[in-house]
Amino acid sequence: MTLTDIAKALNLSVPTVSKALNGSMEIAEDTKKRVCDYAQSVGYRSRKSVAIIGRLAVLWGRQPRAGEPLPEIAQAFRDAAENARYIVESDIMDEDFDLNDYMLENHFLGAILFDINFRSPIYFQLKRTKYPIVLVDNYIIGHPLISAVGSDNIHAVEEAVDYLVGLGHDRIAFLGGELQSRVGTERLAGYILGLAKNGIEYRYDLTYFGDYSLKSGEDAARYYLENDKQFSAIICASDLMAHGFIRCMRRAGKRIPEDFSVIGYDDIAIDPEVELTTIRQDFERTGELGFQTLELLLKGLPSQRSMVGYKLISRGTTAPRA
């Protein structure tokens, strides 16, 4: 029985359950009683009844957007850490955020950081961190206190190109993420490598860069339509962008996959009417590995970069070139 199980059973959030079990004044007394009574009935031992190892932080570069996969990774990290008797707290890093001061003042042993790119104010503080840090889909080489977890972005997108070439496509567009992020540049690199090894010339005019959102997928579709770009398939750096692309193209009278084959990235549920071919990430394993990697740093082991496996899932948005 975990905090997540209790939260689901009582239709509450995990942070609410956690605070209730720890007697937080932020939680109403009737809610505390309901949570504690249920926890006792199922044999859950609160943090007060076990030896706590220490405090860990989940830190965000910005407020997560609805439909993004990162919160699922964060929840898996939290579950793994709390099952190992750590207290986990979340926060968002604003422009005035000072990492070392924050960690010291709040007595955190280490942290996992989400949604950090090369332009994030916190990025330039990382090289002087005094605390063990795990980055999700980012990496800083050579720092003994910084490890990383994430998807094998380059090989995943390279395989997606191979798959489309195998279907007869030789004009393949790419809808990428933010170029100021490591994950964005790695997925672009996988696209370019995939084209090169299949003897296809890279064309910059067939690439469009968004921000992983539905809107940027729609913006990309309009760009391709208004500029009469000729291609038969596209790889999108997120499922959200893929769904936005498909939505806009269908409004314009285009057929998927007859006119355009589309591949996404993440494998998250967005529109049940769209059977999206995509690259599946294991979010739960990424979160668990994030905790395991941070715990190794806490024990003094060397920093490392760990990649979680992926799987190309073929569904209804891809087909042989007509």
pLDDT digits (tens, 9 = 90+) for 165-191: 999 999 999 999 988 888 999 999 999
∠ CA 41-3-10 to the nearest 5 degrees? 60
Q: Is pLDDT of 85 > 90?
A: no
- What are the strands, taking DSSP E only, across 105-213? 108-114, 133-136, 146-151, 172-176, 207-209
Average pLDDT over residues 260-288: 95
CB atoms closer than 10 angstroms to residue 284 = 16
Q: Is pLDDT of 139 > 70?
A: yes
Q: Is pLDDT of 206 > 90?
A: yes
The letter for the amino acid at 37 is D
% of the chain residues with pLDDT over 70: 95
Give residue for tokens 């967005």: 270
Q: pLDDT-based confidence at 158, cuts 50/70/90?
A: very high
Lowest mean pLDDT: which of 27-41, 44-58, 197-211? 44-58
Could you give the domains of the chain? Answer: 3-151+283-308 (3.40.50.2300), 153-281 (3.40.50.2300)
Six token digits for residue 140: 């800083």
CA distance linking residue 193 with residue 187, whole number of Å: 10
User: For the segment 222-238, what is each residue's pLDDT rounded down to a tens digit?
Assistant: 999 999 999 999 999 99
CA distance linking residue 181 with residue 184, whole number of Å: 5
CA distance linking residue 306 with residue 43, whole number of Å: 35
pLDDT confidence of residue 45: 59
User: Which of 93, 91, 88 is closest to 61 using CA atoms?
Assistant: 93
pLDDT confidence of residue 49: 45
| Of residues 38 and 240, more confidently modeled | 240
Q: pLDDT-based confidence at 24, cuts 50/70/90?
A: low
> What's the pTM?
0.80
Length of the chain (residues): 322
Q: Which residues contact 11 (CB under 8 A, 6 or more apart)?
A: none
Q: Is pLDDT of 66 > 90?
A: no
Q: How far is CA 92 from CA 89, 101, 123, in A?
A: 11, 14, 14
Six token digits for residue 257: 């996959």
Phi and psi at residue 196, to the nearest 5°: -60, -45
Q: Is pLDDT of 48 > 80?
A: no
CB 35 within 8 A of CB 6: yes
Average pLDDT over residues 235-264: 97
Q: pLDDT-based confidence at 50, cuts 50/70/90?
A: very low
